Structure 1
Amino acid sequence: MTVWDRPEPPARPVPLDRERIVAAAVELADEGGLEAVSVRKVAARLNAGPMRLYGFISTKEELFDLMADEVHAEILPEERPADWREALGVLAHRTRQAALRHEWLADLLGGRPALGPNGLAVTEAKLAALDGLADVDTVMRAAETVSAYVTGAIRREVANLRAERATGLSKRDWQRASGPHVTRMLATGRFPALAKAVYDGTHVDAETSFATGLDWVLDGVAARLDGAS
């Protein structure tokens, strides 16, 4: 029986339910990442004994599932655009925004399918946007391709943000500090394509990079859908 199907235990003198447990766990994760979340720490945040929580969850992994599903509710727009491309684009950008508010979400994206009600609703929205445009296998591969790009781009962006905090160096500061080494390596002539990218390429911010890559992925999906019709 999954955590979604298991009934909650009866109320006791200290009020407790999954909603309060998940809210406390999300707060802890927002403050210190997934490593800051444990049954003991969540119980302490709620002024409850750790054993009380095991009436609601069996493992920390179940708690992570509940936390991820809670944040998936932030991804769903109030209204779904009729155009498939706009619908997938909105979901992608809202996923990125949710992950920037809750950086720990990046660590949980891309694994097994999300089975909570909000996670299933997000998956439904992705597939429904493409439904009827091609056969079901093409629709599934298209949705998976977009999700793979979104997950990878988000993880890279969050990893950079964490590196900035860990080193105390902004991206610009890190580039300045690394500049002499990079200049020496490029001067060897061993990396001509990289040198061209460094010296001649346009460097954009993370949001622009995400949006551009997403547009290119959706271009590829559109071409595949046209070929399948």
Structure 2
Amino acid sequence: MTVWDRPEPPTAPVPLDRERIVAAAVALADEGGLEAVSLRKVAARLDAGPMRLYGYISTKQDLVDLMLDEVHAEILPAERPGEPGDWREALRTLAHRTRAAALRHEWLADLLGGRPTLGPNALAVTEARLAALDGLADIDTAMRAVETVGAYCTGAIRREIANLRAERATGLSERDWQRANGPHLTGLLATGRFPALSKAVHDGADVDAETSFATGLEWVLDAVAGRLTRPA
């Protein structure tokens, strides 16, 4: 039986429910990452005994599953994204909302790309992605298309979050890091061993993370478009 199928226990002197427990866990993760979350710490934040929480949640994995599903509620728009039939806008909107959720909750990046979560919000997000392609391709093609867009988003988001964490860990912004390592890189490029990289460094445009994400996403959607053919 999954955590969503188990009934909640009766109320007690200190009122608890899964919603309050999950909200406290999300707040702890936002402050210190998933490693900052434990049933004991969540109980302390709620001013409740740890054993009380076991009536609602059996394991930390149950708690993480609930946290992940809670954040998926932020990904799904209130209305179906895009105009009817505008599959690109629908997938684009969901991708950008996934990135925005990960920037608010950096620990989400650590969980993207794993086994599908079976919570109602996560299932609704998956439904919206597949529904965007309904009637445009057979189901196997639609599933591969959704997986491909998802894989791009996961990789791009994880890279962006990793850079943000590196900035905090080192105290160096991206620009400061480039300045600090510039002489080393310049010396290596001067050897002539890396001509393609040298061209990229000297001639390539310097874009921010949001622009990079949006550009790559459009290229992936272009590739998906080339695979969509209405099923017979």
TM-score range, shorter chain: over 0.9
2:72 maps to what in 1? Answer: 72
1:95 maps to what in 2? Answer: 98
CA distance in 1, matches of 2:77, 2:165: 28
List 4+ stretches of structure 1 deviating above 6 A.
Answer: none
Q: Cα deviation per residue 1:44-76 (whole Å; 9 max; x = unaligned)?
A: 000001111111111111111100110100111
- CA-CA distance at 1:194 after TM superposition: 0.6
Structure 2, unaligned runs of 5 or more: none
CA distance in 1, matches of 2:230, 2:23: 46
- CA-CA distance at 1:153 after TM superposition: 0.5
Corresponding residue to 2:121 among 109, 118, 122: 118
Q: How does 1:100-179 map to 2 (within 5 A)?
A: 100-179=103-182
Amino acid of the structure 2 residue aligned with 1:23 = A
Q: Does 1:35 align with 2:49?
A: no
CA distance in 2, matches of 1:209, 1:228: 33
Aligned to 2:228, what secondary structure does the other structure show?
A: helix
1:10 maps to what in 2? Answer: 10
CA distance in 2, matches of 1:226, 1:22: 42
Amino acid of the structure 2 residue aligned with 1:152 = G
Q: Cα deviation per residue 1:129-179 (whole Å; 9 max; x = unaligned)?
A: 001101110000000000000111000000000000000000000000010
CA distance in 2, matches of 1:46, 1:228: 53
Q: How many residues are aligned here?
A: 229
Q: Does 1:208 align with 2:211?
A: yes
Q: Cα deviation per residue 1:14-68 (whole Å; 9 max; x = unaligned)?
A: 1011000000001111111111111110000000011111111111111111001
Structure 1, unaligned runs of 5 or more: none
- CA-CA distance at 1:226 after TM superposition: 4.2
CA distance in 2, matches of 1:39, 1:51: 9
Aligned to 2:148, what secondary structure does the other structure show?
A: helix
- CA-CA distance at 1:227 after TM superposition: 8.6
1:63 maps to what in 2? Answer: 63
- CA-CA distance at 1:228 after TM superposition: 6.8
CA distance in 2, matches of 1:90, 1:227: 23
Amino acid of the structure 2 residue aligned with 1:123 = T
Aligned to 1:86, what secondary structure does the other structure show?
A: helix
1:198 maps to what in 2? Answer: 201
Amino acid of the structure 2 residue aligned with 1:121 = A
Q: Contact 2:40–2:50 at 8 Å: present in 1 too? A: yes
CA distance in 1, matches of 2:102, 2:147: 18
CA distance in 2, matches of 1:58, 1:109: 23
CA distance in 1, matches of 2:202, 2:229: 38
Amino acid of the structure 2 residue aligned with 1:41 = K
Amino acid of the structure 2 residue aligned with 1:93 = H
Aligned to 2:12, what secondary structure does the other structure show?
A: coil
Aligned to 1:73, what secondary structure does the other structure show?
A: helix
Amino acid of the structure 2 residue aligned with 1:206 = A
